[in-house]
Amino acid sequence: MPKVSELLEVDPFNDVPLSPNEIHLLVNREEAKERLDALVRAASKGFPQHVAILGEDGSGKTSILNYVAAKARLHEGVYTAQVDITEGTDFIQMIGAIVRDLLNQVHVGLGSTFLGLFRFGREATRKEILQRLSGVEISRSRRVQLAEALFSIISYSSSVEMKKGTPEAVMEIMEILRQVYDLLGSSPMAIMILLDEGQYVASSRTVALLQHMRLLFQRKPYMLLVAGSPNLFSLFAQVEPSFNNLFAEQNRLRLTPLGFVHVRELVEKRLSLVRIRGLGIEPFTEEAVDRLYRLAEGNPRYVVRIASAALYLARNRSAVAPEVVEAAGQQILKEMGRDRFDRLKEDERELILTLARYGPLSITELWERLPRKQDLSTVSRKVRALADRGYVELTPRGKRKICHLRRALYAYVRDLV
């Protein structure tokens, strides 16, 4: 019988966000895609709505953001700016990224270097802008108006940077930017801003950022599409509660874990891309896919990483058997558990280690066993937040909720207690 390595050209289980032309590889996300398609169509008619995509790490949020950005670009009058958020991102950086992206889409040749032009001085900057606009097919008078509008954006952007940002200056920038579109005959029906890792803008250090964002996105034609952890709105509520009012409940899309059928479909789709011989899920056996589903607990990233490791371990065998998937799973989950544990705060680690030491516990039992006493209500809130983030699972037992550690975290912390 042929070896596993002879059935496939290469390992197809790469864990990177899918590009728009690979979106067919997503599984169990049809409902979210249909809703987003409808929202993009509505935005193209001048009816933008803000949207949140919520899911734990590895659930496919970034892939869906890429899909929405691509769909939006197919509609005339919809402009997009995709911003990568980190813990250190401030409003000046975010506005700079938005302005660059949006200007690049109207082809005035300034987007990538635009905000650096002000260093030339006021008159030199005006001349530089006019020179760069010489190839734009509009009348001379409009070209002068456009140059003045672009100069104003640079001037206001510099003002925002020096003053560390004021809502008035930022609103002025975005209003002038809309005038730029009008001068080019490209009046926007919607300006869609896509933010990944939205939880990074929900901390005590980012109150001003959220306040500025709320003011910006209360105005047409701006539309915010944010992806983040399942407890994103709880985090926003702790920092700037009114920010949550931007998002209608029906537009808070939650990406649920994959079931067995979805995991099987994911494996089959990926294998079909590189298959030399065989069918369906081969070289995985049905039992191996079932083990993969149980180890990954429905997380697409875990499915992909464990499947990749299993293919390598079984490369000289005739099939990927359950015990191979188990070995791969233990290897992958322990490392991923370490990454997750390292992200926790000290008090959260204490909860996790107590659960690892004593096994599944009710919230009250967990509270009683903590080495440092806290209010029961505080412990309950922290446990539920950990469950939202995919660290803990809560299962009902009568009137009580029993806390279990998720597999990846347990694979790592069991050696610490």
At residue 293, the pLDDT reads 97
At residue 392, the pLDDT reads 94
Task: Render pLDDT for 56-98 as a digit per residue (tens, 0 to 9).
Answer: 989 999 999 999 999 998 998 888 888 776 666 666 666 666 7
Task: Render pLDDT for 326-348 as a digit per residue (tens, 0 to 9).
Answer: 999 999 999 999 999 998 999 99
pLDDT for 146 beyond 60: yes
| Rounded Cα gap, residues 416 and 171, in angstroms | 51
Contacts for 24-27 with beta carbons within 8 Å, 24 or more apart?
24/269, 25/266, 25/269, 25/270, 26/60, 26/63, 26/64, 26/67, 27/258, 27/262, 27/263, 27/265, 27/266, 27/269, 27/300
Please report, for the chain, the start and end positions of each structural domain, with discontinuous segments joined by +: 20-254, 257-339, 344-413
Is the CATH number 2.102.10.10 carried by domain 344-413? no
Give the pLDDT band (50/70/90) at residue 164. very low
Domain 257-339 fold is Helicase, Ruva Protein; domain 3 (1.10.8)
Task: Render pLDDT for 222-254 as a digit per residue (tens, 0 to 9).
Answer: 899 999 988 899 888 888 889 999 999 999 999
Mean pLDDT of 317-326: 97
Task: Render pLDDT for 255-273 as a digit per residue (tens, 0 to 9).
Answer: 999 999 999 999 999 999 9
**Alpha-carbon torsion angle 389, 390, 395, 400, nearest 10:** -30
Mean pLDDT of 11-20: 92
pLDDT for 153 beyond 70: no
At residue 390, the pLDDT reads 86
Please tell me the number of Cα atoms within 13 Å of 19 on its side-chain side: 2
Q: DSSP state, 257?
A: P
Under a CB-based contact definition with an 8 Å cutoff, are residues 300 and 266 in contact? yes
Is the CATH number 3.40.50.300 carried by domain 20-254? yes
